[in-house]
Amino acid sequence: METSRRGFLLGTAAATASAAMVSACSPTIPNRGVPGFSHAVASGDPHPDSVVLWTRLDPSGRSGTVPVLWQVAEDESFGTVVTQGTTSTGAVRDWTVNVVAGGLSSGRTYWYRFVDDAGNTSPSGRTRTAPSGGVDRLRFGVASCSNFAFGNFHAYGHMAERSDLDAWIHLGDYIYEYANPGAGETYGEYRLNDPVNEIRSLSDYRRRYACYRADADLQELHRLHPVIHVWDDHEFADDPFVGGASNHQPEDGDWDLRVAAALQAYSEWMPTRLDGNRIYRTLRYGDLATIVGVDRQRRFIWPEPDDGDLYLGRAQFDWLDDQLGAATSDWTVLAQQTTFAATAPNRRSGGWGERDRGRVLARQAPSGSDLVVLTGDIHRFHAIDVLDDPESYIPGESAGVGAVEFAAGSISSGGSNGSGFGPQVRWSAGDHRGYLVVDLTPERVQSDFYGFPDPEKLLARRPAERWLGGFTSRRGAPGLQLARRQATG
């Protein structure tokens, strides 16, 4: 039975590879699902003593509630299992498993796997706990905006192959809710989603996650590196406002039901420590870094009466104030969705607006922890000096600079180079797809940008990636300097 199912999967993959590019939910490389497990494994949200582990059982032939064993070992061969436990799943949560494995040691690499009720073993995953205390170096991959229909996930494949990441951070637009683009549109019908329609119902959102996670590049990245994810709008629908979204029409049904469906599918499929509808959270990496992830959609999707026009709403902004003010690590990494700094020549605009950006910088300044802002959404790489005193700013110097900002281009979503930037935008590239690596030491931060020209995302074979460039900034004297070489060697 198992053998024939495996044969079927492999046969399907071979057929997909030899068929025309157009097919429903067509990953370029075969899904590595194995008997009993349809979507490999994933891990996320590392703490010093625990990490979230994820898998999904193959639903075929299953019903009711099924027990699943999880195991964490020090070695890939599982010779020394350090902890294990049993959980259960079923159709009620789309056959996914999301379990927190505790009792682990800090700053360590572990291997994990699952065993189902029929004795099938999942692929083995690799993960890494957060360190505690003194830390010499940290390295995070950073990604955003991965539209399945717009190109292959080659950039994910490149990141998966790295062996030097503590974790990877996804800044939102992990899935897109759209129907497939029409044949006449850019990249129309290149890789067909499942379902092909715009997703609205719980079943739709579940199938869309299942389609993305059938992509072998994304599977491999999840299997080998823990993820830290914060959502943006497309995990729900484009551009939410209070009571709806730009991409939510009356014929799409009830907005609150759609939000509930999107949230439930998210909670099932992503290896995060989601708390109800709260995704904003802090992850501590010893004395070196504190990662603060925020949610700019919250005040639109779940508004509170006193949110006002604060970028993060009242309660989340108050929470962020507390995180920033209490930061004792060398670096505070703000993982957020769209441009924090002003990019225009007047140096005062920007997605957050001058008032709310100023509030963050003012709160951060006395803590002694330097701020690094990570940005997604704009489908363009950026290295930007965040100015706290635009009048005294001279590019290449520290005067007037309060923080530095690095934007991850996009994995596959289309972008453009943009124009009209002020001198504080030290570098920009919208015509490449890829990711960045942020490398932190007690002395400095460096961001290295990796990618390939946009059209190469359509190649069936993974194109070579290039180091597009890098920037550094010293701790205690922020201001971007062009890097002469990759930090990552």
Q: Which residues of 342-368 are buried (b: 16+ CB within 10 A; e: fewer)?
A: bbeeebebbbbeeebbebbbebbeebe
Q: Provide CB contacts within 8 A for 489, sequence distance 6+.
A: none
φ, ψ of residue 8 in degrees (nearest 5): -65, -45
- By beta-carbon proximity to Fe ion, the closer residue of 145 and 407 is 145
CB of 147 to Fe ion, least distance (A): 7
CB of 433 to Fe ion, least distance (A): 12
- By beta-carbon proximity to Fe ion, the closer residue of 320 and 411 is 411
- Contact stretch for Fe ion (CB under 5 A) within 23-31, 165-173, 273-281, 382-390: 165-173
Taking CB under 5 A as the rule, does residue 25 contact Fe ion? no
- By beta-carbon proximity to Fe ion, the closer residue of 32 and 170 is 170
CB of 176 to Fe ion, least distance (A): 7
CB of 413 to Fe ion, least distance (A): 5
- By beta-carbon proximity to Fe ion, the closer residue of 150 and 450 is 150
- Could you give the 3-state DSSP secondary structure of residue 391? helix
- Please report the DSSP string for 298-315 in residue order: HHHHS--TT-TT-TT-HH
- By beta-carbon proximity to Fe ion, the closer residue of 299 and 380 is 380
Task: Give dist(CA 370, CA 475) in Å, integer.
Answer: 6
CB of 246 to Fe ion, least distance (A): 13
- The H helix count followed by the E strand count for the chain is 8, 23
CB of 87 to Fe ion, least distance (A): 33
- By beta-carbon proximity to Fe ion, the closer residue of 173 and 456 is 173
Task: Give dist(CA 449, CA 430) in Å, integer.
Answer: 12
- By beta-carbon proximity to Fe ion, the closer residue of 145 and 221 is 145
Q: Is 353 left (phi over 0), alpha (psi -120 to 50) or beta?
A: left
For residue 212, which of 248, 247, 170 has the smallest C-alpha distance? Answer: 170
How are strands ordered across the β-sheet holding 289-293?
281-285, 289-293, 331-335, 370-375, 401-407, 381-387, 425-429
Taking CB under 5 A as the rule, does residue 145 contact Fe ion? yes
Q: Residues binding Fe ion: what is the number (CB under 5 A)?
A: 3
CB of 450 to Fe ion, least distance (A): 19
Task: Give dist(CA 161, CA 166) in Å, integer.
Answer: 13
CB of 172 to Fe ion, least distance (A): 7
CB of 145 to Fe ion, least distance (A): 3
- By beta-carbon proximity to Fe ion, the closer residue of 16 and 338 is 338
Whether the Cβ atoms of residue 237 and residue 248 lie closer than 8 Å to each other: yes
- Cα-trace Rg, the chain: 22
Task: Give dist(CA 95, CA 7) in Å, integer.
Answer: 22
DSSP structure class, residue 124: P
- By beta-carbon proximity to Fe ion, the closer residue of 145 and 437 is 145
- Contact stretch for Fe ion (CB under 5 A) within 137-145, 271-279, 348-356, 401-409: 137-145
Strand segments (E) across 220-299: 227-229, 240-241, 244-245, 281-285, 289-293
Whether the Cβ atoms of residue 379 and residue 434 lie closer than 8 Å to each other: no
- Contact stretch for Fe ion (CB under 5 A) within 22-30, 83-91, 144-152, 401-409: 144-152
CB of 146 to Fe ion, least distance (A): 8
- Contact stretch for Fe ion (CB under 5 A) within 15-23, 81-89, 168-176, 194-202: 168-176
Length of the chain: 489
- By beta-carbon proximity to Fe ion, the closer residue of 124 and 413 is 413
Of the residues 58, 94, 173, 233, which one makes contact with Fe ion according to CB under 5 A: 173
- Please report the DSSP string for 13-35 in residue order: HHHHHHS-S--BT--SS----BT
- Contact stretch for Fe ion (CB under 5 A) within 38-46, 170-178, 223-231, 274-282: 170-178
Looking only at residues 396 through 425 of this chain, which bind Fe ion when binding is defined by CB under 5 A? 413
User: Residue 364, CB half-sphere, CA atoms under 13 Å: how many?
Assistant: 29
- By beta-carbon proximity to Fe ion, the closer residue of 171 and 361 is 171
CB of 410 to Fe ion, least distance (A): 6
Interface residues with Fe ion (CB under 5 A) are 145, 173, 413
